[in-house]
Amino acid sequence: MALSVPCYSPSFRKPPEVVRLRRKRARSRGAAASPPRELPEPAARRAALAAGLHLRPFPAAGGRGGGGGPAAARRNPFARLDNRPRVAAEPPDGLAREQPEAPGPFLDSNQENDLLWEEKFPERTTVTELPQTSHVSFSESDIPSSENTELPVDWSIKTRLLFTSSQPFTWADHLKAQEEAQGLVQHCRATEVTLPKSIQDPKLSTELRCAFQQSLIYWLHPALSWLPLFPRIGADRKMAGKTSPWSNDATLQHVLMSDWSVSFTSLYNLLKTKLCPYFYVCTYQFTVLFRAAGLAGSDLITALISPTTRGLREAMRNEGIEFSLPLIKESGYKKETASGTSLGYGEEQAISDEDEEESFSWLEEMGVQDKIKKPDILSIKLRKEKHEVQMDHRPESVVLVKGINTFTLLNFLINCKSLVATSGPQAGLPPTLLSPVAFRGATMQILKARSVNVKTQALSGYRDQFSLEITGPIMPHSLHSLTMLLKSSQSGSFSAVLYPHEPTAVFNICLPVDKLLDMEVVHKELTNCGLHPNTLEQLSQIPLLGKSSLRNVVLRDYIYNWRS
């Protein structure tokens, strides 16, 4: 006895079934009206047959409907012609082998990239596919620079590097205790390591593995293992919910700032004596890059601050710090200095007030000065400084301090109350100091490195693709050291995606140079700064990237191509 289901009609047909019946009737009518004929073979089938693949017979038209002849099984239109990988005819001259793959879409936000990486590459799962961003290659129109054997100097701090190569990076995993210890000693003693142009078996090269450990080391203050101390700009979300016992303890905040001031002063003294090439001061609002004399084509100590605000520039001016805005044209805005030989800020303000008084003097002559409401002084001042407010928090607001004024800037930053946040997750936490060499109160830190072996689709099936991920505050010397190592270990062929900390990209601007420096003298004076001679030579170059930084790098046959 059949059960009756409410709201059920035996004659009801779902829409896909109705469409299927209509197509079947149309095929039946077409087969009855026209004689059977042979269909032309598809182009993909002809290419497969030309390559020597054995394919099953293609169904004839007469076997599809009610025509004559034996009825053959209908072929699934969505099925592949063969279970083997597709084979495409190779173009002449082997151009397909040299043609690079198209790059995938790159994300602008570092947080989004990190989130995607964590989702696709969990620590305890098996990786089967690499994201498209790892295949780094681009056409000639995307490369603004010519081919070169060295990369241009990049002063931005990177948060992540992703290297890919056809050769494995297994040599970078699981360093032995002796190799790790040797790498630490080489860094502390600034040992110069010179690798051969190509290493046949990198996994057996102890010298390579020690040099790799040496290139991952940097120095940090303060060091709080449960807090991410870089980047500091926009890090409130990452720090939310973390333990911060100093936020409501004024005594503890004073102790932290006292230790920080000692470390900051120690770094500046090392920089002044050319024992430290450069260092960064990372606050929750801006970042400062201090560079020793001789680097970036300057014969004086320089300090770049980005981004800045009108209030910060006003405070620096009141402290007597002479500075300039390199990205603001002289024709559009006046050079900002606390005092100058031609015209000081106080004189400019006095002249401005006199002009305002003269502009309203004609009202008194007519006797209507009391009947017309004049704009207040504050409105006039804000209107005049409108251009300064508009460029706040933008790359154009970068400030340059040179020479003896960098020491005044040091004292200003130590005594500046707004340097430390008063509320939020970063309240009471001193700025982060990053340096390539040791300094007083610093803690040795190591960048995180992880290699991954994945499968990528190619014309002839699947091939192995190897990647190496480096995360952490990657400073310019580490980037150059890593590229030198990989040039030897990967036989002069690899690609890389670089993720910069955006507020530091403007540090690549070309500064005004008064005179050309003698590079031999510069290298001799900075011999004891703790950098490899090749790295020191690169950092001595004049920056050419402007407000941008390196994003993609491709090395083929020991020749670099890059895109910023």
Lowest mean pLDDT among 186-190, 240-244, 346-350: 346-350
SS3 of 158-209? EEEEEEEECCCCHHHCCCCHHHHHHHHHHHHCCCCCCCCCCCCCHHHCHHHH
Helix or strand (DSSP H, E) at 501: none
Report, as an integer, the average pLDDT of 542-560. 92
Q: For the chain, first and last CA: distance in Å? A: 76
What is the dihedral angle through the alpha carbons of 299, 303, 304, 309, rounded to the nearest 10 degrees? -140
Q: Look at residue 386 in the predicted model and tell me its pLDDT.
A: 59
126 vs 84: which has the higher pLDDT: 84
Rg (CA), the chain: 33
Res. 349: pLDDT tops 70: no
Question: Are 433 and 221 contacting, i.e. CB atoms less than 8 angstroms apart?
Answer: yes
User: For residues 313, 315, 317 and 319, what is the CA-based torsion angle, rounded to 10 degrees?
Assistant: -150
Which of 51-60, 116-125, 169-178, 386-395 has the lowest average pLDDT?
A: 116-125
Tens of pLDDT, residues 435-455: 999 999 999 999 999 998 887
| Residue ranges of domains in the chain | 158-218+446-563, 221-327+390-444
Query: pTM here?
Result: 0.69
Specify which of 31-40, 48-57, 513-522 reaches the highest per-range mean pLDDT: 513-522
CA 417 from chain center: how many Å? 31
More confident residue, 458 or 470: 470
Is the per-residue pLDDT at 62 higher than 60? no
Q: How many CA atoms lie less than 13 Å away from 406 in the CB half-sphere?
A: 24
Chain segment 279-336, per-residue pLDDT in tens: 999 999 999 999 999 999 899 999 999 999 989 999 999 999 999 999 886 434 444 4
Average pLDDT value for residue range 468-482: 96
Q: Which residues contact 526 (CB under 8 A, 6 or more apart)?
A: 274, 277, 292, 294, 295, 536, 540
Task: Tell me the average pLDDT across 361-383.
Answer: 62
Which residue is listed with tokens 């961003």?
A: 133
Q: Is the pLDDT of residue 27 over 90?
A: no
Q: Determine what percent of the chain is predicted with pLDDT higher than 90.
A: 49
Token pair, residue 96, equals 């397909």
